[in-house]
Amino acid sequence: MRIRMSSPLVCLLALGLAVAPGSLQAADEAPPAATAKAPAAKSGDSKDALKQWAGLVQRREKLMEIIEGLQEEYAVAEKAGDNAKKKEIGEKFQKLLTEFQTDIMPNMLKLVDEVNRLDPTDTTAAELVAGRAFKENRFSDVVAIINKMGIDKLGDKASPILLAIGGVSRFATQDFAGAQALMETTRKVEPQLFAELGAQYLPSCPEYMEYWKTEQAIRTKEAQSDDLPRVLMKTTKGDIVIELFENEAPNTVANFISLVEQKKYDGIKFHRVIPRFMAQGGDPNTLDEDPSNDGMGGPGYHIACECYRKDARKHFQGSLSMAHAGKDTGGSQFFLTHLPTAHLNANAEEQRGHTVFGRVVKGLDVALSLEKGDTIKSATVIRKRDHKYEPMKIAENEKPATPRLKLKGRTPTGGN
C-alpha cells in the first residue's frame, strides 16, 4: 500500500532529505547521510537489483506509516502537556530516523539510478532521482523524468512530490502552461505541499505565457542581427557566456562592459546564492579577507535603473540583472536567475524593480550550479559594437547601500 504523503515533512523524508519535524528535532541537527548522493549500483544482475529495491521500498513505506502515527501521537501529547510522553515519542522517532538515514536511504540511493534506468515508471525511483535533480537546480532533468512518467495523463493520481517539483521545474524552463496545470493539480491533491512548492509561482503563470511570447520574438530578431555584446565569464565551476541587452539597457550594459574591461570582476566571488532563486556576485569586497562586508561593496558610484523603460526585458531563467539597494543605486553587483522571478520585474508605481541587461547563452548548467564562494576567475568581452562603452554615473551616496535580492517578498541587493 502506498502511503498518502499528508505532510511536507513526510514528503521531504520520502525524497531522502531527512528533515525532522521542528517539534521533534531541529532541521539543522539532522545528519547528512541521506542527503549525499551515494555511489551508483554497478550494472549486474538486474533482477537482484529490483528485488533489493522492492524490499527497501517496503521497509521505507512501513517506516513512513509509523512516523505519521508518531506525529499524531506527539500532537495529542503536546496538547495534553504530557512531557514524558513527548520525550518517549521523540526517542522512538530518533531511532526510526537513524534507521532511515543510515540504512534504508543510503542503500536506496545506491540502487536508484539503475532502477530508474530499468523502469522509468517506478514512482519511488523517479521521486528520488527527480528530487536530487531539483535540489541541484537541474530543472530540465526533472522535466524529462516527469514526462517519461506520463504525469499529465496520470493527473491527480500522480505522485504529489512529482507534481510539485515538476510544476516548479516546468516554470523554471519556460513551460508556463504545463507548469500551471501541474501546480493546480498539486493544490488540489496536496494543499500543504503546494504551499511549500508552487504557491509563489502559480499566479505568475498567465502573465509569463505572454511575456515569453514577446521574449521569443525579441530573441529571434536578435539572432538575425547577431551583433549584441557578449562576455565570457570563466568561473571555478566552468565557463558562462552572457549576451548583453544593449538595445533595452544601454547604460547598464556600458557599465558592465566598462567594469569587465577594467578587470574589476576578476577574482570576485559569488557571495550570495539561494537555490531556486539566483546567484549574486560582483562585489569587490569579496577580494578581502573579511566576510562580514561581502555584499556591501561596489565601484564607488551608482547608475540609474533602466527597468522602467517600456521595452524593459523581464526576468526568465538565466537572466543577468542588476542588484541594488533601491532605485538608482546599482553599481557592480549583479545576479543570475535560476528561474523566472516576476516580483523583480519593474513596478513603476511602487518604484521598484531590477534591470535585466543580459542572459546566459552558453553554460546555463554552470550558472545553475554556482554555489556561495565560487569565483569568477576572469571576465572578458568577446564581442561588442563599434563604439565606446562609457556609463553615465550618479555620484555616490553618502550612506552606503547594501543590495539585497528578495525571494517573494525578499529581493537581491548590491552596494556602492
CATH at residue 297: 2.40.100.10
Q: What value does the mean pLDDT take over residues 155-184?
A: 96
Based on the fold, state whether residues 116 and 257 are members of the same structural domain: no
185 and 241 belong to one structural domain: no
Q: Which of 41-55, 68-82, 305-319 has the lowest mean pLDDT?
A: 41-55
What pLDDT is attached to residue 10? 47
The residue ranking higher by pLDDT, 83 or 351, is 83
Of 205, 236, 253, the residue at which a domain comes to its end is: 205
Same domain, 178 and 259: no
Cα-Cα-Cα-Cα dihedral sign, residues 381, 387, 388, 392: negative
Inform me whether the pLDDT recorded for 109 exceeds 80: yes
Share of the chain above pLDDT 90, in %: 71
The whole-model pTM stands at: 0.85
- The answer on 190 and 235 residing in a single domain is no
DSSP secondary structure letter of residue 101: I
Q: Is the pLDDT of residue 113 over 70?
A: yes
3-state secondary structure of 28: helix
Provide the domain limits for residue 305.
224-383
Residue 29 resides in a domain: yes
Cell of 150: 506520463
Alpha-carbon distance of 236 to 338, in angstroms, equals 18
Cα→Cα distances 373→150, 274, 287, 351, Å? 39, 12, 11, 32
174 lies in the same domain as 234: no
252: nearest Cα among 163, 361, 354: 354
Q: Which of 205, 240, 269 lies at the terminal end of a domain, its last residue?
A: 205
Asked whether the predicted pLDDT for residue 18 surpasses 50, the reply is no
Residue 46 included in any domain: yes
Q: Do residues 102 and 96 lie in contact, with contact meaning Cβ atoms separated by under 8 Å?
A: no
Among the candidates 154, 175, 205, a domain finishes at 205
Mean pLDDT of the chain: 87
What is the distance, to the nearest Å, from the Cα of residue 336 to the centroid of all Cα atoms in its chain? 11
Residue 391 lies in a domain: no
Q: Are residues 311 and 245 in the same domain?
A: yes
Q: Let me know whether 109 and 164 are in one domain.
A: yes
Query: Which region among 117-121, 160-164, 346-350, 351-355 has the lowest average model confidence (pLDDT)?
Result: 346-350
Q: What pLDDT score does 401 carry?
A: 52
Domain count, the chain: 2
Residue 263 domain-assigned (yes or no):
yes
What digits encode the pLDDT tens for the residues 362-398?
A: 999 999 999 999 999 999 999 999 999 999 999 755 4
What angle is formed at CA 379 by the lines to CA 321 and CA 215, rounded to 5 degrees?
Answer: 35
For residue 270, being part of any structural domain is answered with yes
Residue 393, domain member (yes or no): no
Count of other CB atoms within 10 angstroms of residue 21? 20
User: How much is the average pLDDT of 236-260?
Assistant: 98
Same domain, 166 and 232: no
Report the range of poorest mean pLDDT among 57-66, 250-259, 313-322.
57-66
Residues 55, 100: one domain? yes
Residue 408 CA: distances (Å) to CA of 42, 121, 191, 278: 43, 34, 19, 12
100: confidence class by pLDDT, cuts 50, 70, 90: confident
Q: Does 273 reside within a domain?
A: yes
Judge if 260 and 315 occupy the same domain.
yes
Please report whether residue 143 resides in a domain: yes
Please say if the pLDDT value at position 33 is more than 80. Answer: no
In a shared domain, residues 123 and 252: no
Are 49 and 197 in a shared domain?
Answer: yes
